[in-house]
Structure 1
Amino acid sequence: MTYRVALHGSGILADAIGVQILERADLELVTDDADCVLVAPDPRDTQAESTILELLAAGRNVATTADLRTDQDTLLDSCRRGGSTLYRTGFAQFLIQRFVLTATQGMSSIRHIRFVESRSADPVEPPPRTETYRPAIESVARELYAAEAAAVRIVSDFEQLSDRVTLTERAYLDDHHFLTLEAIRYPAAGPGAPAAYTLRIDGDPSDLVMQWEIEPNDDSDVLAVGCAHVLLDAVGAICEAEAGLLIDNPDPHYQHDDRVHR
């Protein structure tokens, strides 16, 4: 089945989404009457959030990479009024869903996760902020502890030095400090500098420590391309879902291996 999608936005992420739409047989890029509207705003766009609420209330399904400050009840109300579905992703959700939660699947119990992202800052990118990471934090609480978003308490610490800015997010369920996210940005590193990541999972049967770097092979932004994949892969599920909020499910999925013949 082919789904009709419209793209609203600008910048490296919107560019990556636009390129990938044209490469996919299951999606058709249109300017109106779309099954799903993809909203990938420039970080400086202050109108994106109101646009998303208007689209949902008007009955348009929306997939977005925007940092939404709107509370969940307001988002749900717009979805119910329009009979529409909202799906949110972004750089942080891409990293948490595709890397961190996948790594936890080999653990029998988890006490604490620490994830550090260190990379150069895009010239138009605002400083890291809680709204960017809250959906990713809530997804960890949901998947690992079956906790509702309202039960998650986040303590933020922002530090700005001459050579870098750091946002540290500590997430709690009651008194249990279950997650620490650190976002470090180096404005002077320049475009194309490698992005470095550290993941530590404390739990059983043993603690797990991973480190990796992402260094592009060309001029493309690796995180933007990965995030675009996540967004576009969700379009079918968004269009078929009931009205409301659609979330990722990182559990393993299985299928018949049709390469094997009797």
Structure 2
Amino acid sequence: MLPISYTNINNSRITRDGSSSRYRRLIPEYFRRIFHYPQMDIEYTFWIMFYLCFGPSRVYKVTSWHKQTKNQWARDDPAFAVILVFFMAIASLSYAITFHYLSFYHIIKTMFWAVFVDFISLGLVIATLGWWITNKFLRVSAHNHSVDQNVEWLYAFDIHCNSFFPLFIFLYVFQFFFLPILLSNSLFAIIFSNTLYFAGFSYYYYITFLGYSALPFLQHTKFFLYPIGLFLPCYILFIVMGKNPTLSVLGFYFN
């Protein structure tokens, strides 16, 4: 009987190991850890968020360390994206309450649009474009003594998440607390609102530039700073025309 039992044990073990390995192949570790809160490094995530606002270049200094220890440029911890989604849900709920969108449908609609459209959907598009552009046009060909490297798509999405957090602070947090000033057509409100949006989007592309320039096998990463040059004339033009971005954006969401 022992050989039979031993065989059954081995078969069951092989079955479990096989199904486990298939599970790991189908669902990468990044997404599996979303459902395992204890595996997320919350303290490190808040460290990143702090320095993204006050010293973003320091954040990307640890990128090479992560490559050396994990053998990948991208984070394998989804804590940053999860916490940012939570912050955005709270912020959009606050806006919905402020503008008296108190029905369950309007609250869910506002939160869904902020999280799944503004952050996730646009982020997937931007990350995919950045991943394609860098691998197609900005990657340096490997020499005989070096290993050919590619930009990981997940790293491109990490860059979007990092860049989006200061933008969130500017356009969700600061804008919310200055709504009494911004919701007017005064010249000061117009200048203040345009400055807020200009600073937020410029900072987004600056951190995007830092993220891609941290990769040693990329060249001409200043390409990601070019949108800032387009924002400046728009900033001046909107002020001259008397356009208030806060009124336009919030009017779209809460008209």
TM-score range (shorter-chain normalised) is under 0.3
Q: Structure 2 length as normaliser, TM-score?
A: 0.26
Task: Specify which structure has the higher proportion of strand.
Answer: 1
Q: Highest CA radius of gyration, 1 or 2?
A: 2
Compare the two structures and name the one with the higher helix fraction: 2
So what's the TM-score if we normalise by structure 1? 0.25
